Amino acid sequence: MTDRATRPLLILAGLFGAVAVACGAYASHGLPAVRDARAVELWQTASQYQLAHAAALLGLVAWRRHGGADRLTALAGAAFALGCLLFPGALYLLGWFGPSALGAVAPVGGVCFILGWLLLSAAGLRGLRS
């Protein structure tokens, strides 16, 4: 089963995964030559969270394609996608440019990740009752 939300989520999962691997590799091999240890730590954390949530998006796509498509899983996908932009994005920028107002964006991205997981939980609970 496919739906309008599945293809964009699959595309985003691939893009977020690729960016996470590239940024993680750069954090290990290139970033230490131009930035301090804190920047490397921020980039590693960002890439880990981004890769984990790219995989979560991929799992969500698979779930939706096999009949788990509902409003809650669509919202969970949107929350994960937004979180993949905000949380790692803010950490990558903080690591590169240093402290700024962007630091306030990372917690919003983290809340998006948490919301995505809670929405998946709610979808599972709803499935138990029907």
For 5, the 3-state DSSP assignment is coil
Do 89 and 23 contact (CB within 8 A), yes or no?
Answer: no
Cα 57 vs. chain centroid, distance in angstroms?
Answer: 8
Dihedral of alpha carbons 59, 5, 67, 65, sign = negative
pLDDT single digits (tens) 82-128: 999 999 999 999 999 999 888 899 999 999 999 999 999 999 998 76
In a domain, 56, yes or no: yes
Residue 98 lies in a domain: yes
On whether residue 59 sits in a domain, the answer given is yes
Instruction: Supply the pTM of this predicted model.
Output: 0.92
**19 found inside a domain:** yes
Residue 78 covered by a domain: yes
Higher-confidence residue of 66 and 23: namely 23
Give yes or no for residue 1 having a pLDDT over 50.
no
The residue among 1 and 36 whose pLDDT is bigger is 36
25 within domain boundaries: yes
- Number of domain units in the chain: 1
Going by C-alpha positions, the residue among 45, 58, 106, 110 that lies closest to residue 79 is 110
| Within-domain flag for 1 | no
Task: Give 9-27 pLDDT, tens digit per residue.
Answer: 999 999 999 999 999 999 9
- Domain region containing 32: 6-129
Interacting residues of 7 by C-beta distance below 8 A, sequence separation 6+: none
- Residues 24-44, mean pLDDT to the nearest whole number: 97
State the average pLDDT over residues 31-47. Answer: 97
**Is 51 in a helix, a strand, or coil?**
helix
Question: Cα separation of 93 and 19, whole Å?
Answer: 14
